[in-house]
Structure formats: structure tokens, C-alpha cells
Amino acid sequence: MNQENLANEKSRRGFLKKLGILSAGSGLLLGAGELAEAAVPSETEFVGSDVKSSKEKTQIVSILQSTDVHCQVHPHDELFWENGQSVFRQTGGYAHLATYIKQQRKKNPNTFFVDTGDMFQGSELSVKTTGKAIAPILNELSYDLYLPGNWEVIYYKKAMQTLLGSLHAPKVCANMYHDLGDGKKGEHIFHPYYIWQVAGIKIGFLGYTDPLVPIRQSPNYSKGIIYTKPEENIAHYVDVLRNHEQCAFVIVLSHLGLSQQIALANSAECAGVDYILGGDTHERVRVPIECKYAKVVEPGAFGSFVGRLDLSVRNGKIIDVKYALDEISPAKLKADKAINELIAANEKPFAQDIYHVIGYSTVPLYRYFVVENTIDTMVLDALKWQMKDIDIVLSNGFRFCPPRTTPDHTGNIPITNGYLFDMLPVDSTVRKGKVSGKQISDWLEKELNNVFAKDASKRFGGWVIKFKGMKVTFKAFEEMGKRVQSIEIGGKALELEKEYSICACERDGDPADMLCRMRNVREAKNTAHTLHSVMKDYLKQNSPVSPVLPQSAIVLDAPQTLLTQVYGVNYEFK
């Protein structure tokens, strides 16, 4: 290319960059449907000219997906369900993931790597640096596209924008808007979609995150953001991608949870979508779930797996599609040196605290089962130990935190400060109050419906709420209002008119009379304790602990070992 042509090319690219159309690689980044139709100088006809240069031979195009890593930068224990029992082995670690990605890109240059959310919440390293230590690691991995998850708001809106803005690759999300006040929507916070031109075709990526964030997370986290349901505009953007942009394949990047993604894929608004690459519920879909309008997958969590979608392209047409869930095994993938050094450097100022042992467990710690888990049992045991005069202690149905099963030299499983942050990234204040038996009964019905609603679009995405001091039997697959079969508090049957004391963690932005989404709590007030202080004091006094499942919640129409809330489709968690 001569100097004149080089100057023209630089000028053209500079103009397109200002418009937000040209991005890294060979993709096109478009801000909205209107931008797709905007007047652009004639030079743009040369962008993506590879569309016209397809060859006779078959080319493989690979789309790789990670999701819900939750800042788990190191290899960790992982739970697998094999032959009706839990099996644990090491997986994950960003340095090992980097090696996998490099191998895939070397094998196939037509490789596109996406992450579909929950990148900045879930570890002490992230909390201590408000996510800043994670961004350079993600950039070193050279992702091609990101979707914000429900926890990207953990440090509030401005920090979310700064963190995601520091990532080199584009971000997409078609249902997050600036809140102009009084419920008025402003512009999209992120571009709604992205187009990748490769192997003579266009692939369109459209993004959606969980519209229930203001309810599921502490309300103040997402203050200044308006979320809408995907159904409100997905048909419009699919039309833009399919008909205006002539995309041969349309992918929805989603952080809605598997149940919600299945519901969306069965909705007429999803017509024209080929695949939904999902996230949020940490499900491991090994065989794509066939829905009416699209196929749905989700690649687990914590960097333990990568979803790999391979498209075979010939003469500008997709002739075959294959999907696989690839396990990231540290035993088989050598750690990338640059990533390892970067993680070590970022951890160094906090390493002494992160790896400080605060207690031990005699049993494996995990959070994978829908009804009860040993991590939550330990948290509840600690709260009840601290709050002895409280009738019922509550803990949310969290999913995040990888298992910990490997003993150290003591023969027991160490619990470090870092693992405390993995379990409870937000050191919330413990709050107490009083409620009637009827409030408890009504609240349990609502909470169980959030998990097991027949209408998949009404499932919240979390596990069954956890409690101690109360015993509940229920039917997961009954109708709303008929699930709870019995409730005992302190060994006695619940009395609807009686008042009971409860405690749970305070959520930033909740009304003063709310606890664990239960409204009209009387005498609600904060205590002098936080979750972390309670856990540390409990472990100091009681270690080693043995949080054996107490069967406080008994499901009557499903196994206690239920590993997913998804039913009615061909899917099994393993």
C-alpha cells in the first residue's frame, strides 16, 4: 500500500471509529438500529469486503463462551454429579483458560471469544480493588465481546461503566438504559448488538441481561439504570440483523438464567434467532436444548468450562452447526506464564490476608444443590450461634462460590479470608425484626414460586431460600399457593397469628421494613454484627466445623439432591 492509500485508509478508519462502527478484528459495532441506517461516506463499502471473497472450501467458525467466572482467577475444586453422587476434581483458572484459548485460536484463526457476565463480583481480590484488578486479566485474555451480568452493578452504576469501559473489547446489551428520572428511559448504556464478518458471512450478536436486577440485587446497586424485558425489542433487533444487515446467523448473548432463556427461545419474539448463549444460573448444558425458535446452551461457571459453537461455512452459507462443552483442566492445560504473573502481581498487596486461614471444615463445602448446601448450612449455623435469641435466621439462595474440598496438612479443609469473600462477597450488616406466622407462610410460597414457577419466565434464578430454626416440607411442582405442606418453628407447628423473630442480611436500598424480600417487618433494626464478623467469630470459637445438611427444607416430589430448577426439557446437570 503506497503512502497516499495508507493515509486514506487511516482517515477512513478514524472516521468509522468515531461513529462506533469499526471495532477490533473484522467485526462491525453498531449502536442501534438507527445507526445501522445512518448516512456513511461511500468508503464504508470496503469494510468487511471478505463477505464477497468466500471460497469453495468449507471453513470452520468457532464461537467460544465463558460466563459467571465470578473472579475465580485460580484453579479450584469443582463438583460433578456422576453415578448418583458428588465427585470433585480441579478445574478452571484464568492462566489455564488462556492456554486453552490460545490453542483454539492457533488451530482456527476464525475464533471469537465472548463472556456473558458476572466478571467483577465474587472474590476478595475484586472487592479490595473494586474490580480493577480483574480488568487487566480479562484484557490479557483478549476477549472479542462482553455482555454485562446481573452482578456487574456490584460497585454501582458509575463503577460498572468504568470497569466495562476499561475492557478492550466491545460490550453489548439491548435492555439497559440510562434512567433520566421519573422512570424515563434515556439512551442505551451499551450498544445493543455487534456484527462479526468472517468466512464470507455475517454473524450478529444481540445482548440481554437480567431485567430483575433491581429486585434480585440490592436496589441501590443499579440505581440510575432502567432494565426492560427482552421481549420489548428483540424482534426489532433480530429484524435489523437478519434483514437489514443480512446476517447468516444470529446469536443472543444472554444473562437471564436457563429457565428464562428457554422461555425466551419458545417465544414468538425470538423468531430469527439461531442460538442463545446463556448465563446466570451456572447450568452446564452439554447438549443444546431444542426450543421452538432457538437452541439454548449455558457453559457452567467459575471458568470451569468453555462452550464451543462450531459453524461450518461453505460458499457463504452455514452447512453444519456443532456444540461442545469443553472442560478447563489444569492437569491437561499448562498455565500461561503471562497471566500467572499478572495475577500474582495484582494479588501481592492483599495475598497475606487472602490466604490467611480463619477456620476449618471436616466436610466438603459446596453450593450446588437447589434445596440445601453445606456452605449455606455453615453460614446459618454461624448466624444462629451469634443470634441465639432469634427464632429464625435466613440466608439468600446464592449460587456463586466454587466448592472447597481439599484438606491441608491438618487433615481438614482450610477456610481462608479469601474463601469467606468467595462465599459472601458483600459484608452485609445483620438485621433483625419480627413477623407473623402468616407473613412467613405467604413469603415462603412466594419464594418457592420464584424458584419453581411453572411459567419459566417467572423464575428468579436463585436457589431455595435457606433458613435455620424452621422446618418446612414442600412440593416443588405444585401450583402457586399450594407448595408449602407444613411449617414448624422451634419444633412446634407454625401459628399464623403468632409473632416470630427473624434475622437476615441488610440489602443496600431496601425499605426499612424489609428483610429477605419480606415486607412489613416490625421493629426492624440493624445489629452491631456483619456477616463476615459473625463468620470469623464463629469459626474462631468452633473450628473445625461440620456443616452436615440439616434437612430444614424437605422437598416431597423431587430428590433432596436436586441440582437444577429446570424441568420439562431434555437437560441434566452433571
pLDDT digits (tens, 9 = 90+) for 179-209: 999 989 999 999 999 999 999 999 999 999 9
**pLDDT attached to residue 35:** 37
Q: Return the CATH architecture of domain 3-337.
A: 4-Layer Sandwich (3.60)
Instruction: Mark the ranges of the chain whose per-residue pLDDT is less than 70.
Output: 1-55, 461
Nearest to 29 by CA among 208, 253, 195, 207: 195
pTM of the model: 0.89
Three cell numbers written together for 59? 471453513
Nearest to 378 by CA among 527, 559, 542, 181: 542
DSSP character at residue 348: G
- List where CATH 3.60.21.10 sits in the chain: 3-337
**pLDDT attached to residue 287:** 98
CATH 3.30.365.10 assigned to 358-555: no
Distance in angstroms (rounded) separating the CA atoms of residues 475 and 481: 11
Provide the 10 A C-beta neighbour count for residue 109.
Answer: 10
**pLDDT attached to residue 507:** 85
Would strands 249-255 and 201-209 be described as parallel, antiparallel, or unpaired? parallel
Residue 59: strand pairing partners: 313
Distance in angstroms (rounded) separating the CA atoms of residues 145 and 401: 24
Cis peptide before 544 (omega within 30 of 0): yes
Residue 457 corresponds to which amino acid? S
**pLDDT attached to residue 456:** 80
Q: Please compute, for residue 301, the number of CA atoms within 13 A of its CA located in the half-sphere on the CB side.
A: 29
Positive or negative: CA dihedral 206, 144, 245, 187: positive
Asked whether the beta carbons of 80 and 574 are under 8 A apart, the reply is: yes
- The position carrying cell 433520566 is 180
Question: Cα angle at 139 between 287 and 7, to 5 degrees?
Answer: 115
Asked whether the beta carbons of 353 and 114 are under 8 A apart, the reply is: no
Would strands 111-115 and 59-66 be described as parallel, antiparallel, or unpaired? parallel
**pLDDT attached to residue 567:** 87
Residue 208: strand pairing partners: 254
For 271-410, where are the alpha helices, taking DSSP H only? Answer: 337-347, 351-354, 374-386
* Burial 498-515, CB ≥16 within 10 A → b, else e: eebbbbbbbbeebeeebb
Q: Please tell me whether residue 319 adopts helix, strand or coil conformation.
A: strand
- 446 Cβ neighbours under 8 A, 6+ residues apart: 517
Distance in angstroms (rounded) separating the CA atoms of residues 258 and 567: 10
N- to C-terminal Cα separation, the chain:
54
Positive or negative: CA dihedral 371, 373, 375, 380: positive
Residue 486: strand pairing partners: 473
**pLDDT attached to residue 55:** 53
Distance in angstroms (rounded) separating the CA atoms of residues 444 and 4: 71
- 449 Cβ neighbours under 8 A, 6+ residues apart: 458, 480, 483
Residue 468: strand pairing partners: 393
Distance in angstroms (rounded) separating the CA atoms of residues 191 and 34: 12
Asked whether the beta carbons of 516 and 396 are under 8 A apart, the reply is: yes
- List where CATH 3.90.780.10 sits in the chain: 358-555
